[in-house]
Each structure stands twice: as C-alpha cells, then as structure tokens.
C-alpha cells in the first residue's frame, strides 16, 4: 500500500466547497494515466480513460471533500463560534484541534455548564486560537477549518481524519493504473461537496451521462461494543451496497460487483445501511436515471477526527473493481 500517497490525501486541506488542494494533488497522480483531464464549474475533477469502443460508459466516483467547521462569530475576547460543514457532532469535537487554510490552529472546547447531563450543543462550543482579543484573531467570519489528526498504521489498521472519503480517492487513483486495458470508457470522478448534499456528483453525472455509475465510499460497521447490529465488519472485505437511506442499488450493478468479487476471489460483504448515503444516490436520479451502485470500505468512527479502516479491505476493493472493469 502506498502510505505516502494516502498520507498526502488525508492531510490535505479540503472541506466541502474548498477542495482545491485535494484536487491539485489528485490531478498530479492521475495525469500520467488519463487520456483526458478536466475540471468542471463545480470543481469536480474528471479523469477519462478511453476504451476500445466495445464497452460501456462508466463513472466511478469518490468525493474529495471532508467534514469541517466554519467561523460564524468572533467575540471581543477572541474566541470563535462556529457552524458545521457536513456531519459534525459536538461530542466528537471537544478537545479536538482544527486547522484553517492559512495554517492557523485552534482548539475546540466547551463553555461552562451547570447541568452537564445532556449532550452539549454545537452552540455551546468555541474555538480558541490563542488570541487575547478580537483584533488578534488571524481568521475572520466565514473561514473554514478541518480537524487535525495524522495518519497512523497499526498492523492492518489505518487511522486518520478524512478517510471519508480520501480512501475512496486513493482507491480510484490506484485503480486507474490497473485498468488501462479495459474495454470501457471510464470516467474517474473525484467529486466535490458530497458532505453537504451530494452536489458535485449530481452535476458531473448529468454532464457525462453514463450507462452506469459506481460510488466508492465508506460505510459504518457493526463490530464495535454495543454497535447497532449490521452485517459489516472491519477486515472482512469491501461491502457491496444493497440499500441505504438514500437509494436502493440497481440489482444489475450489485450483481456485477458480486460476480467480480467471486472472479477475483476476494472476500466481500453485503451492506444494508440504515442511515446515510453516497454519491450513487445523486447519480441514480440524474437525467432519465442511471443504473447505480456503490462499493463501500468498512470504517469505524465515521465523521469523527479519527476514522479507521483496514488496509486489506482497501486492497481487495481495488482487486474487485479491476475485475469488474476488465
């Protein structure tokens, strides 16, 4: 596994709507393998690989953006109030550090509460950037920030911020190198603003108008203490989506992935996700409808600053997709 590339991807600054640095990094790595590269008006990066004219037009999508926060107010003492960019939860924030685009770091903490029994609200949190008054604050209202967490490897486990969905981006970068002989016209879509409404994938799929679309994203697991029962376990293989709260995967796309897993002799799981969805839900409803599905990487602690995946699941996802596109 190319840990250097994954480190670059996860540590790049790229909350929803501010994916420029991530896009530039990905473009550098896919340019030698793509027949065409373009960036559309919403900031999506599309790397096109030309087939032999005997295949289908297929989109493979992974989103570049990550969750984050945005400054909404600066008080006279120099503390910052903030709102969420995507699915940010107060309990995940307390004690976390964040980094702004200009390199400013801050600590998220919780104001004093007399009653500590209920879960805190986002309005009760603030960011401390070390300022002594409002004039010392180096960032202003509207400034976005991302969580600070390095990528670490422990055995087969990988832990980092932004594995949702930089691990999907990593998979597509590696996959592009392995499908140079595919008969299909392949559009590797690195999408924007997934965390705030699947926006980039919707517009890009409309423009491409493919025969089929597959999203590569993460999914929760059912293997942690008192977890909601779910038949997805870290390390047991990539998960082929059956249904989530935003879509029912097209049966032919789902079967294509199952057959590919069996052909490649890689373990796989079937995913039924009660809450959450992926870019596939937006692509499915584009134009007159696009047969769509998703391949998910099991991930613990999604939308926290420390997400965890298994490197074997990642390697097997690449093998599965390569077999599906052969």
Which tens digits make up the pLDDT trace of 238-278?
A: 999 999 999 999 999 999 999 999 999 999 999 999 999 99
Domains of the chain: 3-66+161-325 (3.40.630.10), 68-147 (2.40.30.40)
Query: What's residue 74's pLDDT?
Result: 97
- Phi, psi at 189, each rounded to 5°: -100, 115
3-state DSSP helix/strand/coil % of the chain, to nearest 5: 30, 30, 40
Residue 157, pLDDT above cutoff 90: yes
Q: Which of 19, 66, 174, 194 is catalytic?
A: 194
pLDDT, average across residues 192-199 = 98
* CA gap 278, 192 in Å, rounded: 12
* CA gap 319, 295 in Å, rounded: 12
Q: How confident is the model at residue 114 (pLDDT cuts 50, 70, 90)?
A: confident
* CA gap 107, 129 in Å, rounded: 7
* CA gap 159, 152 in Å, rounded: 5
Residue 118: count other Cβ atoms within 10 Å of its Cβ.
7
Residue 116, pLDDT above cutoff 90: no
- Of 195-199, 215-219, 227-231, 276-280, least confident by mean pLDDT is 227-231
Handedness of CA 199, 205, 211, 216 (dihedral sign): negative
Residue 117, pLDDT above cutoff 90: no
The most distant pair of C-alpha atoms in the chain lies apart, rounded to whole Å, by 68
* CA gap 79, 85 in Å, rounded: 19
Instruction: Look up the pTM and report it.
Output: 0.96
194 is catalytic: yes
Residue 28, pLDDT above cutoff 90: yes
Provide the mean pLDDT of the chain.
97
Kindly state the tokens that stand for 307: 């997400």
* CA gap 294, 277 in Å, rounded: 10
């Amino acid at each position: 596994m190319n840990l250097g590339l994954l480190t670059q991807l996860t540590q790049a600054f790229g909350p929803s709507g501010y994916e420029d640095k991530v896009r530039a990094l990905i473009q550098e790595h896919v340019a030698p393998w793509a027949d065409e590269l373009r960036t559309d008006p919403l900031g999506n990066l599309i790397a096109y690989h030309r087939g032999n004219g005997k295949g289908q037009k297929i989109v493979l999508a992974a989103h570049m953006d990550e969750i984050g926060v945005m400054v909404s107010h600066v008080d006279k003492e120099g503390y910052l109030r903030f709102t969420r960019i995507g699915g940010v939860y107060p309990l995940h924030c307390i004690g976390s550090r964040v980094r702004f685009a200009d390199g400013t770091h801050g600590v998220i903490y919780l104001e004093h509460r007399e009653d500590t029994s209920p879960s805190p609200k986002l309005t009760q949190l603030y960011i401390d950037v070390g300022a002594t008054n409002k004039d010392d604050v180096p960032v202003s209202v509207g400034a976005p920030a991302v969580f600070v967490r390095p990528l670490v490897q422990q055995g087969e486990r990988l832990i980092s911020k932004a594995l949702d969905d930089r691990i999907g981006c990593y998979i597509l970068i590696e996959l592009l190198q392995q499908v140079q002989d595919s008969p299909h016209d392949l559009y590797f879509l690195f999408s924007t603003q997934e965390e705030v409404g699947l926006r980039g994938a919707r517009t890009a799929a409309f423009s491409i108008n493919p025969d089929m679309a597959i999203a590569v994203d993460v999914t929760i697991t059912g293997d942690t203490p008192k977890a909601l029962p779910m038949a997805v376990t870290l390390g047991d293989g990539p998960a082929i989506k059956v249904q989530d709260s935003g879509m029912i995967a097209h049966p032919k796309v789902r079967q294509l992935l199952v057959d590919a897993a069996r052909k490649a002799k890689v373990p796989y799981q079937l995913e039924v996700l009660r809450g959450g969805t992926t870019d596939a839900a937006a692509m499915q409803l584009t134009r007159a409808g696009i047969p769509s599905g998703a391949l998910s990487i099991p991930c613990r602690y999604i939308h926290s600053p420390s997400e965890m995946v298994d490197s074997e699941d990642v390697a097997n996802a690449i093998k599965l997709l390569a077999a599906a596109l052969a």
